[in-house]
Structures are given as structure tokens and as C-alpha cells.
Amino acid sequence: MLNRIGYFSRQRVTWAGADKPPISLIGMQKGLMQDLTSNGIDINAAEKFQPHVTLARDAPTPEIAVFAPIVWCADRIALLESVTHTDGAAYRLITSHRLTNIV
């Protein structure tokens, strides 16, 4: 459920997210971090995981926004490569998988 607006000030990104992300999503992220580390991929484990939906890039700090919660159920997970160009970001799908046991 998306129920809050956030802002990444360094990247100037406004986003929507959840006060309490689903435990299953947190578990998937922790498993991914462990798999990356065990395969020799260096990650910044100290950085807080903030699941979100990007609403705007190169955005000013948003005003506090109150909105009715949005129920959002995902049935797939995807790995994308993001490359930033002078005219914006480009995304390339690397792989995707259907999720099972969605709660």
C-alpha cells in the first residue's frame, strides 16, 4: 500500500512509498543483498532500503501531501539497468520473474 510521499534530496526525486513495506518484500531484498555479497558483488549494505515508486525526477522538495492510500499488488519482479544521460534516464530490462504466494 502506498500511503506517503518522500524525497531523495541528492537525486532530487519525489516518490510514493509505504510507511510499513510488506515483510515479504523486505525478505526478498535481504536475500538479494546476501546473494550479491556471496557472489563477490560489492554493495553498500549500510544504505537503508526504501521501496518506492518514482513520481518525478529533477523535482523540487514536495509539499506535504495527504492522500488516500493506494493498494498496489505486484505479481512480477524485474531487474533493470538504469543509465543516466543528459536528457534523462534510460532503462533496459535484464530479466523478470513472476512472483508466487503473493500476500
14 pLDDT band, cuts 50/70/90, is: very high
Rounded to two decimals, the pTM is 0.72
Average of per-residue pLDDT across 74-82:
87
Give the pLDDT score at 103: 52
102 pLDDT band, cuts 50/70/90, is: low
Return all residues near 12 (Cβ < 8 A) that are at least 6 apart.
57, 58, 59, 60
How many CA atoms lie less than 13 Å away from 30 in the CB half-sphere? 6
- Nearest Cα residue to 81 out of 90, 73, 72, 70: 90
